[in-house]
Amino acid sequence: MGNPESRTRRPVPTALLRTPWYLCMPLQPSRFPTPVLFAAIPIPFAVFLWGQLPGFEPEEALSPGSPPAYGELAPEDNPFEALPLELAREAPMPLPGSASTPEVRPHPYSEEVRASFRIRVRDAVVPYRVLGVTVRPGETVDIELDEIWGEGAAEGFLLRTPDGVETPYSPGRWTWTAPQTPGEAVPLRVESPVDMDAITLNVLILHPFEAVENGELNGFRIGTYRSTPDLPPPPGFVEASPELLDLRVSPGFTLRQYLPRQEGNPRYLVLSEHLTLKMEAILEEVRVEGIEAATLYVMSGFRTPWYNRAIGNTTDHSRHLWGDAADFFIDETGNGWMDDLTGNGEGGEADARLLYRIVERVQDRAEPHVVQGGLSSYRANAVRGPFIHVDTRGARARW
């Protein structure tokens, strides 16, 4: 029989949950004939007993409801057809050894990529041993340990720069000022005195947004940002020079993977550390699920407003334009199509549904380095397979 708590969840029959009100009301002999009263007695009692069985959950709770209203947080204006929400949430049978609970589970990949401590850079919490961070020329950045484990615990941590060791303004807290030259990459390294572990920040110096003239940056077409008070234009653009393309922006991803698809030499992009943190967390969870993926294939990362219009999108506020959205799938075979993750012999919507559930698990866990945002699953069409969209807009959105 096994552990009763491990049994399959048993939905309550809809008929019981929707028992007519007159059969569940207090007994009133003056209103109903005796046969009806005797028939009514067992029904509420049966519902109660069913609720005590292991795995009880109402049938409605097992099916998604209508998506909430998100006000100004409209879904992406994407020309591809999205999977219906109920299909995206309908998970296939789990893989052998997969876990369904939201707790953080030890995994060799996590042990490899996570440091023994965390730091905070501006409003981003960094648990990984490497992360790309973008700053404007001359910007002063606060870097600090995210957790202090008692008095004196921060003593001995170092911030090492190309110019030497920075002096902390208090234990475990530093300020660092970026150089004035756009296009540079500067490595910063926070080192632990306890186990010699370290977190490296690959700092990318931006070309300021104000450098865009007539919709172009050094000949690369940017277009026009339709910003709002709540959504200002990005602070600047990373220059993706050839020597920086393979720079790690998180343990499982390089700068090359987030490049815009439009032509240019060099190309420029906006890249949010919140997105790279989230994508790394998703890759971790993919590994926990038992899927041996070296990375995620980013089919669309940053888009310029010009390119977004050129491919037929009419929205002015796609998260891709702000560098905090990615459309991706798993492609370890290298054929440009979603891999067969469920073992049914083909890469298709079942695999997209599995990947969707993995991403939901990451977002529901709400670790401090994962920012909430949009999530959707898109069907295959004639030219490409299914894929997942995620972003870090700061509020939950589903479509």
Please, are residues 274 and 133 in contact by the beta-carbon 8 Å criterion? no
pLDDT, position 17? 38
Domain boundaries, the chain: 4-63, 108-398
Q: Which of 132, 119, 397, 375 is nearest to 274 (CA)?
A: 132
Per-residue pLDDT in tens (0 to 9) along the chain, 399 residues: 444 443 333 343 434 334 443 333 343 444 444 444 444 444 444 433 333 333 322 222 222 222 222 223 334 444 334 444 333 333 333 333 333 333 445 567 888 999 999 999 999 999 999 999 999 999 999 999 997 666 678 999 999 999 999 999 999 999 999 999 999 999 999 999 988 999 999 999 999 999 999 999 999 999 999 989 999 999 999 999 999 999 999 999 999 999 999 999 999 999 999 999 999 999 999 999 999 999 999 999 999 999 999 999 888 999 999 999 999 999 999 999 999 999 999 999 999 999 999 999 999 998 999 999 999 999 999 889 999 999 999 999 998
Please, are residues 177 and 166 in contact by the beta-carbon 8 Å criterion? no
pLDDT in tens, 57-75: 222 222 222 222 222 333 4
Give the CATH class of 108-398.
alpha beta
DSSP, collapsed to helix, strand or coil, labels residue 198 as strand
pLDDT in tens, 227-283: 899 999 999 999 999 999 999 999 999 999 999 999 999 999 999 999 999 999 999
d(CA 196, CA 111): 15
Where do the H-state alpha helices sit in the chain? 14-17, 21-24, 34-40, 42-52, 85-88, 108-113, 273-288, 305-310, 349-365
Please, are residues 189 and 196 in contact by the beta-carbon 8 Å criterion? no
- Residue appearing with tokens 């991403």: 359
Those residues whose C-beta lies under 8 Å from the C-beta of residue 338, and which sit 6 or more positions away, are 329, 330, 331, 347, 348, 351, 352, 355, 380, 385, 386, 387
pLDDT, position 201? 98
pLDDT, position 314? 85
Query: What's the CA angle centered on 375, arms 369 and 378, to 5 degrees?
Result: 140
